[in-house]
Chain A
Amino acid sequence: MSFGRRLREPARDTQVFVKRIAIASIGMVTLVAVLLSRLVYLQLVNHDHFTTLAQENRLKVLPIPPTRGLIYSGDGVLLADNRASFSLEVVPEKAGDLNAAVTQLQQLLPLGPELLARLKTEVRARRRFDSIALKDNLTEQEVAIFSVNRHRFPGFSIAGRLTRYYPLGAQMVSAVGYVGRISEEELKRTDNRIDTSNYSATTHIGKEGVERSYEAQLHGEVGYQQVEVNAQGRILRVVESQPPIPGRNLYLSIDSRLQGEAIKTLNGQKGAIVAIEPATGSVLAFVSNPAFDPNDFVNGISATAYNALRESPDRPLFNRALLGLYPPGSTVKPVMAAGALEYGLRDRGDQTWCPGWLQLPGVTHKYRCWQKAGHGGVDLLRSIAESCDVYYYSLARDMGIERMHELLTGFGLGRVTGIDLPGELAGLVPSREWKRRVRKLPWFPGETLINGIGQGFMLTTPLQLAQMAAILANRGRVVVPHMVREFENPQDGHREALTPVERPTVPIVKPDTWAAVIEGMHEVVQGERGTARATALGATYQYAGKTGTAQLFTIAQDKRIKVQDVTKHLRDHALFVSFAPLDRPELALGIIVENGESGSHTAAPIARTLFDFYFAIRRPNDASG
């Protein structure tokens, strides 16, 4: 018994069916060919490409950050340290509902309200299975709180890493600077400051000071571990590894004791002190007061704290020693005097009559001496010792602005000193050409006069004043001031000293010039009528100096001066340049006390204190003498 319809027209039915089977079979063969062509394309044609991709999948290179070099002071005090710190990290892929987990965590730990927004952007910006730091510098208590609740937060973990720490805090910030988190901007910069592969494991970078200028030496070279990972990012085994090379340790020339003493002598007043060893250019103290604690900046300072610092009328963030622009005032007079002798405009004994003022022909304006009664007949030594303005008005008139520009520039004013710190300002020594270019005005003869006493357009930094003092102490030899004295390889302890850089010597060739100028500066502190004679009493060594007073209104200072502070803020700045001992100078100083009124009363005593202190620590045995 057959089932179904008997094939009534077997031949025709079969013909149709066989045709259909044939068509379907052709279709099948075609589709198999499609599959095979794809397989050939993947497995034969692009085999190498996919092999590479499979390797990249399998092997992950984990960068290992190098240990940042330490920074020591010249007297061996640790200025920048690496300390173990703990941070809370999360791998979002493992965390499940990240937002919910973070919200829960915020009830346990103070994570800050902006965290969720920050996470959102960071999650996108990173590679799959890379971790994100939620909070740095966890306290031990916070670590404990998290550890207890850890099981509730899969994907979250505590990671230990090294964080920069500055043991001396604000005391050294003007020189050492600080590190901070690498910003997007820094990563994108085209000047190749950052080699992105070398920084692949690095989170912080030097932002200011030595930390920034020696970033390349301090950073070291990244190491890596090539590991086999599974798709969850779990490390299965280490295939290959290359340890990181730690950054080099830096030994600064700064003496922490002198630095501390310098800050102390300022006694809370705003100002800057730069101390240089004239023979080498080594910077021994580099003070800007007030300062701030760099440790607050390492892992990001809160907006409130930052605004408080930024808005403070004392401008603690402002590195006065490097960036503060002040009229040099009378401190330029020794340089002018050297020019007078060198250019043959004055002899040492030539007298200029000072009635208390000088007038230019055809002009009614009287250019006044600070000594209203006049100094009478003034020779070169007296002009320095007593800081007679009329002598220098007259000298400037004879020298002319072009020669003054050349002379002062030779002493390092109006151009960067070349110190190994970032962002140094050049200040200003005016010239006809400058005034035409910048102010679009011709040069007026009266301007020559006031620039002759360091007023007018002239602007200098405390660093430049110290360098000028060092050049005078060196009798014309120009050494570029520098912060770093030695590199040390932390692995083998090998040290490498930096050779001081010299610039062309000041072109003053007459042998008696230096002797006369330095004698004049000696008279300032240890002569009978020197402007700072009171401060040198009882000194066991001979030294030289020059006082100066900078009129404030020429400084573009903080505009947000409070009404009740106006009077104090309008006081003149007190300046003093100095070096000691006279015959073999060991220390050159540039000192500015803002609103200190008088160089001789405020700034000069600081120099005396610092000389005494420095010689005592340098020659402890003589301290009693």
Chain B
Amino acid sequence: MLRGSRGQLWGKLHIDPPLVGGVLMLCAIGLVVLFSASDQSTDIVIKQGARMGLGLGLMVAVAQLSPARLARWAPALYLVGTGLLVLTAVIGTGRGAHRWLDFGFLRFQPSEIMKLATPLTVAWFLRDKLLPPRLPVIATALVLVALPAALIAEQPDLGTAILVAAAGLFVLFFAGISWRFIGLAVAAGVALAPIAWYSMHGYQRQRVLTMLDPAADPLGTGYHIIQAAIAVGSGGWSGKGWLNGTQSHLEFLPEHATDFIFAVYCEEFGLIGVLVLLSAYLLVLVRGVTIALGAQDSFGRLMAASLTFTLFTYVFVNMGMVLGQLPVVGVPLPLISYGGTSLVTLLTSLGILMSIQTHRRYLANA
């Protein structure tokens, strides 16, 4: 009874305790590592903590909205986001790549909007279609995915483009498109790979080459990968201890508070720490899968599954990059890396998950 009433209370607040528990655990780990990775800067930790607070608030706020409402807003969000992407291409700022829109009081990356808007819109589009989708439907959905992905890749921000595309394509995958189509798509991808290779920017190509053989240019592009491997490897089983990582504190490890923070974590907390971190992610991911399986309409199912596996994609791409298994693309480690925009986007997406979970009962009862 008590359990039930408590569950009802969380339900009324539209909060999913297991999900929030996992998120808080990751945020806590994130702040602890960040303190070390930022050379013990309390300023940075407080700043990041504030962003987390903002993100968590947004997460809870989004959870209050019903999935139906989210779906209705999706096309508008998509149009605004795409429009801003076009605008960014024209007047955007940023070092080397045009990723930022600067409104004076507000500076953000429109590509972040598309991380959510793309899967939302595809799921919205598929909500009343016969599943598995037929070819014209698939084609339309692919256009919806490809447009923002192409705009973002053009910035160029390959990492985000891949993640945006992945989020949209996951929706299609979970909608049950046929394996034959997936097979064809993969084959086409392989066939187009050379074209993609030649359309890449020089530095992007270099990153792929570097991943394949970091030792070829140890002081240049291979430097990140080699130094990250040294950090991770020297951490060993139990790590060097919090605040004791030499690779990050002596600045051998580049981007050690942002994209490469996982290397700092591995160096200081070792394999044991990594297992703890992966467990926290798995808690969130398993909960996401559970929510997806429990969702009662196709929009909820597709959204929940897509967001969950997109989160996993983030984790895998970042860790794979730090461990030298994937090319260096600018993908942060969710909830751990220092940085505001992706953190807020991510927590918002988890809010959508909670919305899908906590609005279920009413849907079922209606």
Using a CB–CB cutoff of 8 Å, the interface residues on chain A facing chain B are 1-7, 13, 16-18, 20-21, 24-25, 28, 31-32, 34-36, 38-40, 42-44, 46-47, 49-51, 53-54, 57-58, 128, 228-232, 236
Q: Across the two chains, which residue of chain A brings its CB closest to B232?
A: A42
Kindly list the 9 A-B residue pairs having the minimum CB-CB distance in the complex, ordered from nearest. Answer: A50-B233, A3-B68, A54-B234, A4-B127, A231-B251, A42-B233, A4-B297, A230-B250, A47-B236
Given A5-B297, A54-B231, A47 and B252 contact (CB-CB distance below 8 Å) = no
Contact between A43 and B271, CB atoms less than 8 A apart? yes
Instruction: Offer 20 A-B interface pairs, CB within 8 angstroms, sorted by A.
Output: A3-B71, A4-B68, A4-B128, A4-B298, A4-B299, A6-B297, A7-B298, A17-B292, A20-B173, A25-B289, A34-B320, A35-B316, A38-B325, A39-B274, A40-B271, A46-B233, A51-B233, A230-B251, A231-B252, A236-B250
Cα–Cα, bound, A287→B292 (Å)? 99
Q: Name the CB-closest residue of B to A28.
A: B312
- Take A2-B297, A2-B363, A38-B325 as given contacts and tell me if A44 and B236 are in contact as well, using a CB distance cutoff of 8 Å: yes
Known: A53-B230, A228-B250. A16 touches B176 (CB 8 A): yes
Which residues of chain B have C-beta atoms less than 8 A from A28's C-beta? 285, 309, 312
* Chain B residues within 8 Å of A232, by CB: 251
Q: Determine if B319 is an interface residue (Cβ-Cβ < 8 Å).
A: yes
Task: Point out residues on B near A: beta carbons under 8 Å.
Answer: 66-68, 71, 127-129, 131-132, 170, 173-174, 176, 219, 227, 229-237, 246-247, 250-252, 266, 270-271, 274, 278, 282, 285, 289, 292-293, 296-301, 305, 309, 312, 316, 319-320, 323-325, 363, 366
Docked Cα-Cα span, A21 to B174, in Å, equals 7
Question: Contacting A13 at CB < 8 Å: which of B68, B234, B298, B316?
Answer: B298
B133 to chain A, nearest CB (A): 11
**Chain B: minimal CB distance from A355 (Å):** 87
Do A53 and B127 have beta carbons less than 8 Å apart?
Answer: no
> Is there an interface contact between B132 and A16, defined as CB atoms closer than 8 Å?
yes
Which of A6, A16, A21, A43 has a CB less than 8 Å from the CB of B131?
A: A16
Check if A20 sits within 8 Å of B176, measured CB to CB: yes
Question: Assuming A35-B319, A40-B271, A230-B250, is B234 touching A51 (CB within 8 A)?
Answer: yes
* Residue from B68, B131, B234, B292 in contact with A47 in the complex, judged by beta carbons closer than 8 Å: B234
* Contact call B173/A5, Cβ cutoff below 8 A: no
CA distance A35 to B325 in the complex (A): 8
Give the nearest-CB partner of B129 in chain A: A5
Interface of A is mostly: helix
Instruction: Check if B252 sits within 8 Å of A34, measured CB to CB.
Output: no
Interface pair A17/B319, CB less than 8 Å apart: no
- Given contacts A2-B363, A21-B292, A43-B232, 20 further A-B pairs with CB under 8 A are A1-B366, A3-B297, A4-B299, A5-B298, A17-B293, A20-B173, A20-B305, A21-B174, A24-B309, A25-B289, A28-B285, A34-B325, A35-B320, A39-B271, A42-B233, A43-B266, A51-B234, A54-B231, A230-B252, A232-B251
User: Cβ of A1: which chain B residues have Cβ within 8 Å of it?
Assistant: 366
Residues of B within 8 A of A51 (CB): 233-234, 236
Docked-complex contact B266 and A24, CB < 8 angstroms:
no
Please, how many angstroms separate the alpha-carbon atoms of A53 and B305 in the complex? 42
A274 to B182, CA, bound (A): 95
Given A16-B132, A17-B174, A43:B235 Cβ within 8 A = yes
When distances are taken between beta carbons in the complex, the residues of chain A under 8 Å from B292 are 17, 21
Are B250 and A43 neighbours in the complex by a CB distance under 8 Å? no
Q: How far is the CB of A7 from chain B (nearest CB, A)?
A: 7
- Measured CB to CB, the nearest residue on chain A to B218 is A128
State whether A3 touches B323 (Cβ < 8 A): no
Distance between Cα atoms of A235 and B227 in the complex (Å): 19
Contacts of A4 in B (CB 8 A): 68, 71, 127-128, 297-300
Closest residue of chain A to B239 (Cβ to Cβ) is: A43
Q: Find out whether the CB atom of B246 lies under 8 angstroms from the CB atom of A57.
A: yes
The answer to whether A7 and B297 touch across the interface, beta carbons within 8 angstroms, is yes
Q: How far is the CA of A20 from the CA of B309 in the complex (A)?
A: 12
Whose C-beta in chain B lies nearest to the C-beta of A20?
Answer: B174
**Cβ-closest chain A residue relative to B228:** A42
Name the residue of chain B whose CB is nearest to the CB of A93.
B219
Question: What residues of B have a CB within 8 angstroms of the CB of A32 in the complex?
Answer: 278, 282, 316
Closest B-chain residue to A56, C-beta based? Answer: B230
**Contact at B251–A13, with CB atoms within 8 Å?**
no
Q: Which residues on B sit within 8 Å (CB–CB) of A58? A: 246, 250, 252
Please give me the residue from chain B that is nearest to A46 by CB atom: B233
Whether B128 lies near A50 (C-beta < 8 A) is no
Which of A24, A25, A43, A128 neighbours the largest number of chain B CB atoms within 10 Å of its CB? A43
Residues of B within 8 A of A57 (CB): 227, 230, 246-247, 250, 252
**How near does chain B come to A38, taking the closest CB pair, in angstroms?**
5
A31 surroundings in chain B (CB, below 8 A): 312, 316
Q: Are A24 and B278 in touch, CB under 8 angstroms?
A: no
Complex CA gap A25/B309 in Å reads 9
- Across the interface, do A42 and B323 meet the contact criterion of CB distance under 8 Å? yes
Instruction: Collect the chain A residues with CB atoms within 8 Å of residue B270's CB.
Output: 43
The reply to whether B305 and A24 contact each other, CB–CB distance below 8 Å, is: yes
* Minimal Cβ-Cβ distance residue in B for A51: B234
- Residues in A with CB closer than 8 Å to B128 are 4-5
Query: Closest approach, in angstroms, between the C-beta of A279 and any C-beta of chain B?
Result: 63
Collect the chain A residues with CB atoms within 8 Å of residue B247's CB: 54, 57
A49 to B298, CA, bound (A): 51
Min C-beta distance of A502 to chain B, whole Å: 58
Q: Which residue of B lies closest to A59 (CB)?
A: B246
Cβ-neighbour of B234 out of A6, A7, A17, A53 (below 8 A): A53
Minimal beta-carbon separation of A406 from chain B (angstroms):
66
| Residues in chain A near residue B235, CB distance under 8 A | 43
Nearest residue (CB) in A for B316 is: A31
Q: What's the Cα separation between A54 and B233 when bound, in Å?
A: 9
Is the CB–CB distance between A3 and B363 below 8 Å? yes
A50 and B232 contact, CB distance less than 8 A: yes
Nearest CB of B to A16, in Å: 4
The smallest beta-carbon distance between B64 and chain A, in angstroms, is 16
Q: How far is the CA of A20 from the CA of B301 in the complex (A)?
A: 11
With known contacts A3-B299, A47-B236, A13–B131 Cβ distance under 8 A: yes
A46 to B235, CA, bound (A): 10
Give the nearest-CB partner of B274 in chain A: A39
Bound state CA distance, A28 and B289, in angstroms? 11
Neighbouring A residues of B309 by C-beta, 8 Å: 24, 28
> Could you say which residues of chain A place their CB within 8 Å of the CB of B230?
50, 53-54, 57
Instruction: Tell me, in angstroms, the Cα distance from A229 to B250 when the chains sit together.
Output: 7
**B176 contact set on A, CB distance < 8 A:** 16-17, 20
Nearest CB in chain B: distance from A34 CB, A:
7
Bound state CA distance, A32 and B301, in angstroms?
A: 23
Nearest A residue to B240 via CB reads A54
Instruction: Give complex CA distance A146, B71 in Å.
Output: 68
Residues of B contacting A44 in the complex (Cβ-Cβ under 8 angstroms)? 236-237, 271
Least Cβ–Cβ distance between A589 and chain B, in angstroms: 62
Residue of B nearest to A229 (CB): B250
A17-B176, A25-B289, A57-B250 known; A50-B229 Cβ under 8 A? yes
Cα A36 to Cα B320 in complex, Å, equals 10
Assembled-state Cα–Cα distance A38/B271 (Å): 11
Q: Residue of B at shortest CB range from A10?
A: B296
**Cα–Cα distance between A49 and B128 once the two chains are bound (Å):** 57
CB distance from A35 to the nearest CB of B (A): 5
- Cβ of B305: which chain A residues have Cβ within 8 Å of it? 17, 20-21, 24
Residues in B with CB closer than 8 Å to A17 are 174, 176, 292-293, 301, 305
Query: Which residue of the partner chain B has the closest CB to A24?
Result: B309
Using Cβ atoms and an 8 Å threshold, which residues of chain A touch B66? 3
For residue B127, which residues in chain A have a CB less than 8 angstroms away from its CB?
3-5
Measured between beta carbons, the chain B residues less than 8 angstroms from A25 are 289
Known: A5-B129, A16-B132, A35-B319. A43 touches B236 (CB 8 A): yes
A128 to B219, CA, bound (A): 8
Q: Nearest-CB distance from B38 to chain A (Å)?
A: 15
CA distance A362 to B108 in the complex (A): 115
CB distance from B105 to the nearest CB of A (A): 34
> Counting chain B CB atoms within 10 Å of each CB, which of A6, A57, A229 scores highest?
A57
